[in-house]
């Protein structure tokens, strides 16, 4: 994913959830780019990079990526990128709104977020 798309996505999340003090990132080129660093600096957001070869330092993202991979990405053959995007959108809604998460007490992430507000 290019840095410009990461920035657009982060701007969207900030609009919905508010500006974070810091963002933890891996060392992918989209996160190491000058564009993202400049974007973060202008917004007074610290980029915290994990150490190379230590994905456990970003455990939430790694766990999510594993869930995506095993729950649906390796289960289906897709014909188009649009088909993958559509499936991903539907799955993400289900994941956040209907699927109980035992790590947060058997409630959905949406319910947990509502409780924190």
Residue pair 36/7 in contact by the 8 Å Cβ criterion: yes
* pTM score of the predicted model: 0.61
Distances (CA, A) of 82 to 20, 48, 64, 68, 86: 31, 32, 21, 17, 6
Separation between Cα atoms, residue 41 and residue 33, nearest integer Å: 12
Q: What is the pLDDT along the chain (117 residues), one digit of tens a residue?
A: 788 998 999 999 999 889 999 998 888 777 778 999 999 999 999 999 888 888 778 787 788 888 888 888 888 899 999 999 999 999 988 888 888 888 888 998 888 888 887
**Domain locations in the chain?**
3-49, 58-115
């Amino acid at each position: 994913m290019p840095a410009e798309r990461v920035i657009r996505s982060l701007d969207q999340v900030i609009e919905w959830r508010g500006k974070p003090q810091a963002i933890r990132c891996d060392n992918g080129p989209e996160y190491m780019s000058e564009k993202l660093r400049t974007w973060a600096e202008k917004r007074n957001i610290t980029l915290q990079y994990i150490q190379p070869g230590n994905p456990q330092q970003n455990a939430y993202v790694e766990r999510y990526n594993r869930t995506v991979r095993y729950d649906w990405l390796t289960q289906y053959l897709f014909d188009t990128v649009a088909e993958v995007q559509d499936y991903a959108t539907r799955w993400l809604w289900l994941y956040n709104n209907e699927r109980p998460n035992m790590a947060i007490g058997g409630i959905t992430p949406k319910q947990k977020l509502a409780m924190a507000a």
